[in-house]
Amino acid sequence: MTYISRKLKKVRITKEQLLKVIPVGRENAIKSDVLASLLSLHNKREVGFAISEAREKGAVILSDTVNGYYLPSTKTEIESFIKSMEKRGKLILKATKSAKKQLSLIEGQEEMEVNS
């Protein structure tokens, strides 16, 4: 069960509740703002948190940046989702390389300044 804290109350969203409102097939995908409304959540971030937790518990909820969220209707949809997520993951890792390099340079400079 997902608990999303709000100011003074908690909203409980179960994996089953999500699966009831998410349509089957990419052509029927639902945008996160619509999901938020259907689930009485305040924003897309809360939807993303609930989706993430449901996925961790085994729910196969697919998504793409154009259509939104949907349950798989074909093997091809699942394969496409996997390919897309793996590509995004690789791009994210690439993006961190330059930041890590810069961080190591900064840390090296701090060590040199302390030792001087």
**Is the confidence at residue 34, as pLDDT, over 70?**
yes
pLDDT category, 116, cuts 50, 70, 90? very low
Please give the structure tokens belonging to residue 18: 């999500």
Write out the CATH class of domain 1-73.
Answer: mainly alpha
At 48, which amino acid appears? G
Which is nearest to 23 in space by CA: 93, 97, 77?
Answer: 77
pTM above 0.85, yes or no: no
Where do the domains of the chain lie? 1-73, 75-116
| Confidence at residue 91, expressed as pLDDT on a 0 to 100 scale | 94
Tens digits of residue pLDDT in 42-76: 899 999 999 999 999 999 999 998 999 999 999 99
pLDDT at position 85, please?
95
CA 12 to chain centroid: 18
H/E run at residue 11: strand 10-13
Contact 57, 16 (CB under 8 A): no
- Residue 87, token pair as written in the block: 């590509």
